[in-house]
Amino acid sequence: MHKEGKWATSILELQGPDGKWGCFHSLSQFYHASMTTEQALRRLERLGFTIEDEPIKKARI
């Protein structure tokens, strides 16, 4: 399953303790992270994650 694959794992490893992956989107003037929260959420959605999955819930708080 894609949720347990290397791409999902690599994205989830970048998630910070606050549930974010850096700025929300790349238009932020303080964009220094390797991935934005917006990019991570879109990629995780394509890998089969839904609102019921813990990493997504964590990002919403």
For Cα atoms 13, 59, 36, give the angle at the middle one, nearest 5 degrees: 65
Residue 11 contacts residue 35 (beta carbons within 8 Å) = yes
Q: Is pTM, for the whole model, over 0.85?
A: no
**Residue among 60, 30, 52, 29 at smallest CA distance from 40:** 60
pLDDT digit string, tens, across residues 7-43: 999 999 999 999 998 877 665 555 566 788 889 999 9
Residue 60 pLDDT greater than 90, yes or no:
no
Residue 61 pLDDT greater than 90, yes or no:
no
Q: What whole-number distance in Å separates Cα of residue 18 and Cα of residue 34?
A: 16
